[in-house]
Amino acid sequence: MDDEFQTALRIASYNIRAGLGTDLRRDPARTLRAIATLKADIVTLQEADFRMGARPSALPRDLLQDITGLVPVAGDDRSLGWHGIALLVRPEITAGDVHRLDLPSAEPRGAIVVDLQSPLGPLRVVGLHLGLLRRSRRRQLDYIRDFIATLAPMPTVIAGDFNERSVRVGLGRIAQDFTILPAARTFPSVLPLLPLDRIAHCDRLQVRMEPTPKMPAPHPSDHRPIVAAVSPQPNP
């Protein structure tokens, strides 16, 4: 690893499809083992809760830390997250302010904004799962960007399922303030064609994409995960 990444944190994003694999079997323990293979310090999940009723967690809380070494933040007694978006962290990483956003959309969509105290110092992580329509995604990105602008400045990473293949056309709004990293194709997981899952960061951080560990077959989800290394920007 390069010198500037010696103290890096690993951050991952994974749309787990509520534990439903490409074999159409719902196997939460398999999903947890897949998360563990990412060896990440921070993981944003999408579709981590079931969509109906009280949105119960799709993953067993009693096995989560034992298998992955991670603990959830920003959830409640039943759900791991908000609108299916969950944030898992190493136990030594602690959460401060948590903001749960309802995003403008014809379909239920949300985002979480969590201020963490990490080995790198303060770190803000935004987890999202944007809508299926481009006009909705643009409004949602505007909403997230405007909300972040109301908060005290903090090194920030945005990670999730952007549901968008075009950085220039679809993600230009967030690219005004954040660097969007080149993305691998993640969907569908069996034969990936579209780079729907992405990581973006502010100019106070250095972030680079990392190789994604090989996932078991059949794949635990219809998306592949992505992983990046995050380190502070050296002083100029």
Q: If you average pLDDT over residues 70-97, what whole number do you get?
A: 90
230 band by pLDDT with thresholds 50, 70 and 90: very high
Strand boundaries in 4-93, DSSP class E:
9-15, 42-46, 71-73, 86-89
Q: If you average pLDDT over residues 94-101, what whole number do you get?
A: 95
- pLDDT, tens only, 144-193: 999 999 999 999 999 999 999 888 888 888 888 999 999 899 999 999 99
Listed by start position, the domains of the chain span 3-232
Task: Give yes or no for a contact between 222 and 11, defined as CB atoms under 8 angstroms apart.
Answer: no
- C-alpha 35/C-alpha 139 separation (Å) is 31
- What pLDDT does 175 receive? 86
Q: If you average pLDDT over residues 99-114, what whole number do you get?
A: 92
78 band by pLDDT with thresholds 50, 70 and 90: confident
231 band by pLDDT with thresholds 50, 70 and 90: very high
Chain centroid to Cα 8, Å, comes to: 17
Q: If you average pLDDT over residues 223-229, what whole number do you get?
A: 97
pLDDT of 217 > 50? The answer is yes
Q: What is the dihedral of CA 165, 169, 173, 176, to 10 degrees?
A: 100
Question: In sequence order, which residues have a C-beta less than 8 Å from that of residue 211 and are 6 or more positions away?
Answer: 227
Predicted structure pTM score: 0.94
Cα Rg of the chain, angstroms: 16
- pLDDT, tens only, 16-70: 999 999 999 999 999 999 999 999 999 999 999 987 656 788 899 999 999 999 9
Superfamily of domain 3-232: Endonuclease/exonuclease/phosphatase (3.60.10.10)
1 band by pLDDT with thresholds 50, 70 and 90: very low
* Average pLDDT taken over every residue of the chain: 92
User: Which of 8-12, 128-132, 211-215 is least confident?
Assistant: 211-215
